[in-house]
Chain A
Amino acid sequence: MHPVVRLVDVVAVLGGFPALAGATLTVERGEIVLLRGPNGAGKTSLLRLCAGLLAVERGEATVLGCDLAADRTAVRSRVGLLGHANGLYADLTVADNVRFWGATVGATPAEIAAAMERMGLANRLLDVPVGRLSAGQRRRTALACLVARRAELWLLDEPHAGLDATGRDELDSTLRAAAAAGATVMVASHELERAGALASRVVEVVGGQVRPVAR
């Protein structure tokens, strides 16, 4: 079986500066991989490259069987990226947002309701505009949108940021359930203890390169 992510000596440039400088990484289906490393090391760029948002300048990059150097748009509908921004519409309610993002992949009303339930959004928060939520509640809503989108590869940048203890536990159990169901998860995080306990493998991103970390 082909790996979900296969990067070989990948170079990528962002705003004229090298964001990835010969990154090599292989991720198998069902893995939860923690990317750790200092700020500016290239963790976010690595996730954006895997999501097809950052162009491959050199090297080989295959995600979910799609050659990113040839066409980086083909993979997009199959991955879910949660970056520093949540990708939500502040004037719409929680339910509106989850319904909208679920609808982009043709999710059924039952799947959308299950996604909201999964992230603890049922009942009181559903009809509240996202602009009135706390940072943690917005993060939960964004995660529910990701669940509703049924992504095969989850790319999460600091997903625990802003979540309370309950939200963190729900997130971890959601990621474990997604991985058990066959999805692959890559998490960039500075919260090494929590994310490390969740991950099946840890790698370090430094200077745009990826190094394995012994556990």
Chain B
Amino acid sequence: MSTWRIARLIAAKDLRVEWRSRVLINQVLPFATLVMVMFAFALDNNDRVLTRVAPGLVWLATMFSLLVVVQRTFAVETADGALDALQVAGVRPGGVFLGKALALAAQLAALELVLMGAAVVLYRTEFQAGGVVLLVTTYLAATTGLAFVGTLYGGLAAGAKGRETLLPLLMLPVVAPVLIGATRATEAALGTEGATPSDGWPWIGLLTLFAALFGVGGTMAFGSLIDE
């Protein structure tokens, strides 16, 4: 069976697991929204400060939520030995990697939409017509990169002892470039502190390169990572 067919099969299965369990909707989305509210409390509900830092807070909340979603997506695989069974089934590991990343990206995209909505309500964030293309491109590139890194490190930590604490320790330093790049590009798209969309495009280059590196690397290395 081809890598893409396996990827579609795995992605459909992961999204069906989410649809049936509703963990994203009932637990992760409220958690992410709560993080946004806590940021507002911490910054004393100062409109000017909140508007200034909103892009960074949205992406920081996304990173925290990513950890929860990645833990969950691999807990589903290891709870009853399904990851072992996938290996024995001889499905291409690259297909498993791409499928899990695809499902993770879809969940992250839904999460980011809610977080952006929360930024508008809580932080008075305003959109600029000229920055919409940059904003959408930023979200696409950053979400893809985060999904690839999350899947790669989730697979790496899946069989390890203390994986709940190991995963943030391994993953957060690696996603720092996405946090920086996505925040700067989002600031440019929203016109924060006089930034213009042209300031954001070089960051898209970084985000795209990051996603490509982890996409290719993950597809090639995933089999060895999850192997005994």
Interface residues of A (CB under 8 A from B): 51-55, 73, 75-81, 83-93, 96, 100-101, 103-106, 129, 149
Contacts and interface: CB of A to CB of B under 8 A. Distances in A.
Interface string B90-106: 11000000000000000
B89 A76 contact: yes
A85 B81 contact: yes
13 contacts: A73-B90, A76-B88, A77-B91, A81-B85, A83-B81, A84-B81, A86-B81, A87-B84, A91-B21, A100-B13, A104-B6, A104-B86, A149-B89
Contact of A86 (B6, B80, B86): B80
B223 interface: yes
A116 B79 CA distance: 23
Nearest to A48: B228
B89 A52 contact: no
Closest 9 A/B residue pairs (Cβ): A77-B90, A85-B81, A87-B85, A76-B90, A91-B21, A81-B88, A91-B20, A104-B89, A87-B81
Nearest to B81: A85
A190 B121 CA distance: 63
A85 B77 CA distance: 11
Interface in B1-56: 1, 6, 9, 13, 16-17, 20-21
B82 interface: yes
A168 B91 CA distance: 30
B226 to A, nearest CB: 11
B20 A77 contact: no
B76 A105 contact: no
A103 B1 CA distance: 10
Contacts of B16: 92, 96
Interface of B: 1, 6, 9, 13, 16-17, 20-21, 76, 79-82, 84-91, 223, 228
Contacts of A83: 81, 84
A83 B30 CA distance: 38
A92 B88 contact: no
Secondary structure of the A contact surface, majority rule: loop
B22 to A, nearest CB: 9
Contacts of A129: 20
A165 B82 CA distance: 27
Nearest to A54: B228
A79 B88 contact: yes
Nearest to A80: B88
B80 A87 contact: yes
Nearest to A96: B16
B80 A51 contact: no
B13 A92 contact: yes
Nearest to A129: B20
Contacts of B21: 91
Nearest to A51: B88
A50 B16 CA distance: 32
A144 B36 CA distance: 46
Given A91-B17, A103-B9, A76 B87 contact: yes
A20 to B, nearest CB: 14
Contacts of A106: 1
Given A90-B76, A101-B85, 19 more contacts: A53-B84, A53-B88, A55-B228, A76-B89, A76-B90, A77-B90, A79-B88, A81-B84, A81-B88, A89-B17, A89-B76, A89-B82, A90-B79, A91-B20, A91-B76, A92-B16, A93-B20, A100-B9, A104-B1
